[in-house]
Chains A and B, each alone.
Chain A
Amino acid sequence: MRTALPSSPLQRLRRELFSSPLDGLISIGLIGFLLAVAIALVKWALFQAQWAVLQANSTLFAVGRYPLEQQWRLWLLTTLLVGATGLSWGLLRGLPRLDRVDQLWPRNDRIAVAVVLALAVLAPLFLKLSLAIQLRWWLEAALLVATRWAAGRWALRIPPPARRLVPLIWPLLYFAGMVLISGGLGLIQVSPSEWGGLLLTLVESSFAILLCFPLGILLALGRRSELPLLRWSSVVYIEFIRGAPLITLLFLGQNILGFLLPGGLAPDRVWRAAWVLTFFAAAYVAEAVRAGLASLPKGQLEAARSLGLPLPQALIHVVLPQALRVALPATVGQFISLLQDTTLLSLIGLLDLLGTARTVMANPAFLGRNAEVYLVLALLFWCGCAALGLGSRALETRLNPTANPAR
């Protein structure tokens, strides 16, 4: 097919939208429709919608009934997360061997920084947060950019042994975060029943995502094992979980998980729900990983074994790195549905984002403000899912051994 020479954007637009009378008609119709929708939406957002429901309840949506005098712990955690993100991000770009993008500030990063800064300024303004709190968000955004900049700038000065320790920050941070949120080690206990909103949604989904992944890998390996008992129990588990709706499992979990798990692992409803989410997602991750394993030629394992590698090492160094790369898109798809599935927690009485929304909307003062609340909720979930999706795509290209390095 012959395609046109490069031309100005206006010319290209004309060619793509109005190349024939029918094309032109369709384009005009669609543009008109989209304009109408956009105008109606803006009109509604500016003149009809009453955002007070969010402004008055922003803390509730963020952290639920987390005690006010303990909220400094969440600010500290946010700061740590922001710092670690900036550090990792900067190191990734600053060490060309880690990354295929041989540039300190590629265009995507500049866009990301612009979006973060805009959000940090506009979102608190929109929510009419007190100036003190607005200031905190600005500082968090500034910290992100500063650590990102500093880590990128001085990445090569950090001695290699120290660089290798940086990824360890994340698991450490996860445990530190759990302690900060729930208490212990000298901090006052904050019962999970007081967590809510975005905090609860993030705790539940991150716990389930982190645990369902290794569990899913083990189940997939079990399903392909040569030991009949292991194989059949994996199959039964996977098929049982995949055959049951999550909501039934959540109700079931509230009733029986207390007996099944060793004492202390599922002390209350919040943790029981987290385990159910984990066990549920693991079955689906297992199927994604199984597809990845099946995509590998048999010769890969044979070659590894014929070199004398014992089975566990052959799996860790040869089979899984390749299988997981194939399974990555489906696995992240599973993480994304997991994040969305946390909304079902509201049906078993937990105050996650949706649960909080339902209590807020039940308040007579905010009657009929459903559209505002649901719209913001949808945007929040969309942001989370988009972030997961973008991360997965970036990881996929980096893990592709045959892709040409982008330079």
Chain B
Amino acid sequence: MTSTPASAGSAPGAVMIEARGVEKWYPNGFHALRGVDLSVHQGEVVVIMGPSGSGKSTFIRTFNALEDFQKGSIWVDGMELTDDVRNIDAIRQEVGMVFQQFNLFPHLTVLENLTLAPVLVRKRSKAVVERQALELLERVGIAEQAHKHPGQLSGGQQQRVAIARSLCMEPRIMLFDEPTSALDPEMVQEVLEVMQELAREGMTMVVVTHEVRFARQVASRVVLMADGQVVEMAAPDQFFTNPRHERSRQFLRQIA
């Protein structure tokens, strides 16, 4: 079931995200990221874990410039992140993002949520995008809700729409910022299954989550962050059974 899409421009295994020595201070002086390094290769699923306040969300939000940073450098799909607005918009088109709070557009229908950006940004024909959007909704299992508004859907359905909305831009990388944390427990699984399916299809993914089972089954690597630094980076088996650092053991005890 593994298929790696051979996209133009980067061979399988190419580096999709490269972060070097990223440091960030919030305007109030809080040192949120203290020199974080990370490389993500094509087709990899990197799961970032860590206690709240460890900077993991802040870190992945720097990848599509939702957060700025003061030191270090980040390359996304071969482009270096700069202040240039065009550069940022170009990178954002390649990077899909799924938020904890879904952030669907409540004034648009589900279908319009999916088609808005491809039509406006990629300038693709509305009819073509709609067909693709319906296929995506089919894939995440909610095609029959296409003409409802997000407010009429359950949390799990909304998050699956949000994933489909990102995919509709045909991104090369997907970022997930605690995608199941705001969900009722019985809805977590349906969202994780969609993500798992996406990973199987070879999507490059960076996932901030507390879902240990997902990390064990899907992750290529697990990263533990604490206090704005990477504490440990390891394959999931090793990380969960035999972590090297005391900080990791402490964290695993807390979430167990």
Q: Does B151 contact A (CB under 8 A)?
A: yes
Which chain B residues (81-107) contact chain A, with CB distance < 8 Å? Answer: 85, 89, 92-93, 95-97, 99, 101, 103-107
B238 within 8 A of A: no
- Which residue of B99, B105, B166 contacts A318 across the interface (Cβ within 8 Å)? B105
Whether the Cβ atoms of B89 and A307 lie closer than 8 Å is: no
Chain B residue nearest to A316 in the complex (CB): B120
- Interface centre among A300, A306, A317, by most chain B C-beta atoms within 10 angstroms, is A306
8 Å CB contact of A303 from B85, B103, B121? B103
- Cβ contact within 8 Å between A402 and B103: no
Given contacts A300-B103, A302-B66, A306-B64, A402 and B151 within 8 Å (CB-CB)? yes
Bound form: Cα–Cα A399–B152 in Å: 16
Name the B residues within 8 Å of A300 (CB-CB): 103, 105
Min CB distance B164 to A, Å, is 12
Q: Which of B64, B92, B120 has most A Cβ within 10 Å?
A: B120
Interface flags for A367-383 (1: CB within 8 Å of B; 0: not) read: 00000000000000000
Within the complex, the shortest CB–CB distance from B222 to chain A, in Å, comes to 24
A313 to B122, CA, bound (A): 13
C-alpha gap A302/B98 in the complex (Å): 11
Nearest CB of chain A from residue B90's CB, rounded to whole Å: 8
If the complex has contacts A299-B101, A401-B151, A402-B152, are A307 and B117 also in contact, measured as CB distance less than 8 A? yes
Separation of A302 and B97 alpha carbons in the complex (Å) = 10
Give every chain A residue within 8 A of B162 (Cβ-Cβ). 303
Query: Quick one: closest B residue to A300, CB to CB?
Result: B103
Indicate which residue in B97, B106, B107, B149 contacts A306 across the interface (CB closer than 8 Å).
Answer: B97
Sample 30 A-B pairs with CB under 8 A, ordered by A number.
A297-B103, A300-B103, A300-B105, A302-B66, A303-B99, A303-B104, A303-B162, A304-B105, A305-B66, A305-B92, A306-B64, A306-B66, A306-B96, A306-B166, A307-B96, A307-B117, A307-B121, A307-B166, A308-B92, A310-B85, A310-B121, A317-B116, A317-B120, A321-B107, A322-B105, A322-B107, A325-B107, A401-B106, A401-B151, A402-B151
